[in-house]
Amino acid sequence: MTFIGPRTNCGTLWTLVPRRLAAMRLRSPLSSSLRPLLALALCAPLLVSCATARDDAATATAPLRVAPLDTAIAGEWRDPKNVARDAYRHPRETLTFFGMTPTQTVVEITPGGGGWYTEILAPYLRDGGRYTAAMVDPMAAAEGRSRDAQQKYLDDLKARLAAHPAQFDRAELRLFAPKQPSFAEPGSVDTVLTFRNVHNWVAGGTAELYFKAFYDALKPGGTLGVVDHRAKPGTALDAMKKSGYLTEELVIRLATDAGFRLDAKSDVNANPKDSADHKNGVWTLPPTNRHDPEDAATYRAIGESDRMTLRFVKPAP
C-alpha cells in the first residue's frame, strides 16, 4: 500500500479508497463483516494526513497573537524618552515577576509627573482591570517648594493622561496626605506597586505609615511589589538617607513589620556596574546626572542604579 503524506491533495481521498477496496476484493475473498473494518484502517492515515495539512494551513494564515503586556509596552503613546529607559527598568520582566494580570485592581504609588509605569499599566488594565495612580495631595504638602513640586507632578500627570484618552481615559487618580496615607478602600486591591520611592519615605521618616497603608489596601493574598536603589549590606541608616540607596534588609523589615511576608526576590533590575557609593548618591547616575560634565561618559557607562526587586504578600487568614 502506498502511504499518502501530508502533501497529498485531500480532495482525492474518496476516489483513492474505493479503488483500493476494489483491488483487494479481486485478490482476496474477504468476508462482508471484515470489509468495513478494512475500510476504516485504510482511511485512518489519509484522514490524519488531511487534518495535519489543514492544521498547518491554519497556522500559516492565522494572525500572531501578541500578549497584552507586550502590546502595552510597545504602545506608540509612550514617551520616547521613557522607552529609552526600558533597558534599565525591564518593565516586562518586572511586572511578570510581580504576577500582573490584565484583570487586576492595581494601585501605583506616586508615579510622578512623567508616569513612566502609568503609560504601560493604564492601557494594560483598561478593559479588564482597574488602575489607580496615588498622588500626593499638594494641599497636604508643606507650603512652598514642596507644595509647588507636588502640584507640578500632579498637573504633568493629568496632562499626560489627557493627551491619550483612548489608552488612559479609565485611569484613576487618588490624592493622599503624606503623613496619613490611604490608597484604597480596605481590602479592595489585588496589587500595590511602588518604584524607587521607599528611600524618600525613609528619609522623611514616614516609611512605616506607607507600608501599613499598603497592607490595609490589599486583599488577603494580595501582592506588594517594591523596586528601589540597593545599598551594600550593613550600610548605616544615615548613609542610606543621604545616598538614596537602601539595604534589602531594611525594606524587608519595613514590610514584615507591617504584616507582609516576603514571597520572592529578583535580580531583574540589578546592575553590577553600580558601586552605590557616588559623591551625590544615586542622583549622580542617569537619569538625574548630578555630576561634573567631564564625568558624563563614566556615569553613562554605568547606567541607572543597582536595584532590588522584592515581592511581598499579605497573608490570607
Domain ranges of the chain: 10-61, 68-313
pTM over cut 0.75: yes
Joined grid coordinates for residue 305? 542604579
CATH 3.40.50.720 fits 68-313, yes or no: no
Alpha helix ranges (H) inside the chain = 13-27, 35-61, 68-73, 80-83, 86-89, 91-97, 118-125, 145-163, 165-168, 198-204, 207-217, 237-243, 248-257, 296-302
The 3-state secondary structure of 297-316, one letter per residue: HHHHHHCCCCEEEEEEECCC
Backbone phi, psi, residue 56, to 5°: -60, -40
- Of 16-25, 72-81, 162-171, 246-255, least confident by mean pLDDT is 16-25
Assess contact for 125 and 104: CB atoms under 8 A: yes
Helix or strand or coil: residue 220? strand
Q: What is the pLDDT of residue 67?
A: 65
Question: Mean per-residue pLDDT for 200-215?
Answer: 97
Percent pLDDT > 90 in the chain is: 78
Q: Which of 159, 136, 161, 160 is nearest to 146 (CA)?
A: 136
Q: What is the pLDDT of residue 59?
A: 42
